[in-house]
Amino acid sequence: EQQIKVVLEEALALHREKPDLHRFLYAEAPRPRALQERLRAFDEVMEKTLSSHLHTAGMSRKKADLKGALIARAGQALLHEFVLDGQLPYSYDYRLKELHATMIQLMADTQTPETM
């Protein structure tokens, strides 16, 4: 739980320094191939790290790989669309707390039936 909290807080600290610039870069700015490759490499590290934790907790490798990718991408989307959206009627701290709780729940749910 603490590792997820630290990752979320650090990512958000970077985003909050200049939120308008970040929103523009995230939504509008072109991404050169080199940047796309660096972003994808970071995503792969996050997915593999999550997958490893899930597999260690008892999930099959195949399901852990899929769920790790889903959690990483969901976390990224929630971070950008929910936590950083200053127009929502919830405080930043509340949104961060809810994102953290959601990510913990997704990681903890390792006993779902194998359907693949």
Q: What is the 3-state secondary structure (H, E, C) of the chain?
A: CHHHHHHHHHHHHHHHCCHHHHHHHHHCCCCCHHHHHHHHHHHHHHHHHHHHHHHHCCCCHHHHHHHHHHHHHHHHHHHHHHHCCCCCCCCHHHHHHHHHHHHHHHHHCCCCCCCC
Q: Give tens-digit pLDDT for 52-88.
A: 988 998 999 999 999 999 988 888 888 777 766 767 7
Q: Give tens-digit pLDDT for 95-109.
A: 888 888 888 888 876
Alpha-carbon distance of 71 to 65, in angstroms, equals 10
Q: Give tens-digit pLDDT for 9-24.
A: 877 777 777 777 767 7
pLDDT at 116: 45
